[in-house]
């Protein structure tokens, strides 16, 4: 049973997709053992509570500096001892020490087709604002392993989503979630929990089914 910790910052719709998939059997051999959230007002916390998943609030704002936060965050994660860490709309950069402590055991969902619209400053609604500004006709979502870089780790899955003529950042965000993120992220967790993917020489390999 893959012990999974999910990190969230806001609405928690991706967390919801994971919890629903665990309950419906869309994800097997995995459980969500805890949620970590950096924002005490996040709706994601209500979702965790509804599913009886323990939640921990840890905000960089409550520490004297980033280094102290990084130390406390990594220590907490080590105590929780997960097999997999899922960044489901977690808008805080993962400390390097945590990446080193959990190699190829942290995954992230990003609301674009990496390497487009990613990296520093590209998060949440901003990603969709930039995609609309650029006038792309197709965007999408990516699930990838997390390394020391920003949105740079090995790619697990991607799904394209059409941009419509009258899209706003909000309507595009919603369609990317519905058509890509809420499908890809639970699938990736199920793949990892059932040993269907591994990382080799910086790339994700799938075992034949």
Question: Cβ closer to ligand GAR: 127 or 157?
Answer: 127
Least Å from the CB of residue 104 to ligand GAR? 19
- Report whether 44 contacts 79 (CB < 8 A): no
Between the CA of residue 124 and those of 120, 141, 173, what are the distances in Å? 12, 12, 8
Q: Give 64's contacts (C-beta < 8 A, 6+ positions apart).
A: none
Give min distance, CB of 68 to ligand GAR, in A. 23
Catalytic residue among 51, 70, 110, 144: 110
- Given a contact cutoff of 8 angstroms between Cβ atoms, the answer to whether 198 and 207 are in contact is yes
Contact residues: ligand GAR, CB under 6 A: 8, 10-14, 44, 88-89, 109-111, 123-124, 127, 177, 181
Q: Are the C-beta atoms of 141 and 180 separated by less than 8 Å?
A: yes
Q: What angle in degrees, to the nearest 10, is found between the helix axes of 43-50 and 13-24? A: 10
Min dist CB 118 to ligand GAR, Å, is 7
For residue 144, indicate whether it is catalytic. Answer: no
Q: Where are the beta strands (DSSP E) in 9-70?
A: 30-37, 55-57
Q: Is the CB of 83 or the CB of 129 nearer to ligand GAR?
A: 129
- Which residue lies nearer to ligand GAR by CB, 11 or 26? 11
Cβ closer to ligand GAR: 13 or 147?
Answer: 13
Shortest Cβ 157–ligand GAR spacing (Å): 13
Angle CA 54–180–85, to nearest 5: 35
Cβ-closest position to ligand GAR:
89
Residue positions annotated with a catalytic role: 110
């Amino acid at each position: 049973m893959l012990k999974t910790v999910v990190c969230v910052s806001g609405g928690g719709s991706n967390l919801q997709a994971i919890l629903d998939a665990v309950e419906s059997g869309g994800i097997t051999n995995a459980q969500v053992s805890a949620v970590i959230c950096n924002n005490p007002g996040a709706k994601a916390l209500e979702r965790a509570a509804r599913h009886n998943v323990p939640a921990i609030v840890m905000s960089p704002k409550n520490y004297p500096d980033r280094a102290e936060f990084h130390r406390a965050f990594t220590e907490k994660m080590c105590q929780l001892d997960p097999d997999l860490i899922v960044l489901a709309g977690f808008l805080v950069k993962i400390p390097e020490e945590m990446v080193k402590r959990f190699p190829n055991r942290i995954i992230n969902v990003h609301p674009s087709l990496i390497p487009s619209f990613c990296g520093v400053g590209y998060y949440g609604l901003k990603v969709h604002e930039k995609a609309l500004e650029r006038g792309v006709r197709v965007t999408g979502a990516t699930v990838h392993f997390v390394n020391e870089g920003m949105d740079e780790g090995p790619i697990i899955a991607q799904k394209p989503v059409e941009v419509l003529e009258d899209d706003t950042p909000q309507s595009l965000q919603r369609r990317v979630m519905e058509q890509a993120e809420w499908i890809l992220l639970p699938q990736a967790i199920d793949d990892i929990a059932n040993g269907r993917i591994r990382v080799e020489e910086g790339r994700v390999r799938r075992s034949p089914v």
